[in-house]
Amino acid sequence: MLTSLLNLERNNFAKVVKIEGGAGFQKKLESLGLRLGVKIKKLSSSVFGGPVVIRAGRTNIAIGKGIASKIFVEIK
């Protein structure tokens, strides 16, 4: 099932399958280890428009909700 990082439910594991955005945007995400094929776990959901928090590899990352809505994942 395809869903954005924003809508993914907390504590779910998923795989990044699509990132909407240009090369610069992709590079920015990649610098913290967020790229296609990477497995992530959602640690915290956006509350009142706040950021989501995920774990990718061994890094915890806080992601603003606009960016999170452009990253699509597949739940396993």
Q: How many residues bind another protein (CB under 8 A)?
A: 28
Q: Which of 29, 40, 72, 73 binds another protein (CB under 8 A)?
A: 29
The rounded Cα 55 to chain-centroid distance in angstroms is 9
* Residue 34 CB coordination number (10 Å): 22
Task: Compare residues 14 and 63 and give the one whose CB is closer to another protein.
Answer: 63
Considering only the stretches 1-9, 12-20, 26-34, report the one whose residues sit in contact with another protein under the rule CB under 8 A.
Answer: 26-34
Q: Residue 67 and residue 76: Cα distance in Å, rounded? A: 22
Q: Which of 6, 14, 19, 63 binds another protein (CB under 8 A)?
A: 63
Tokens of 61: 């990352």
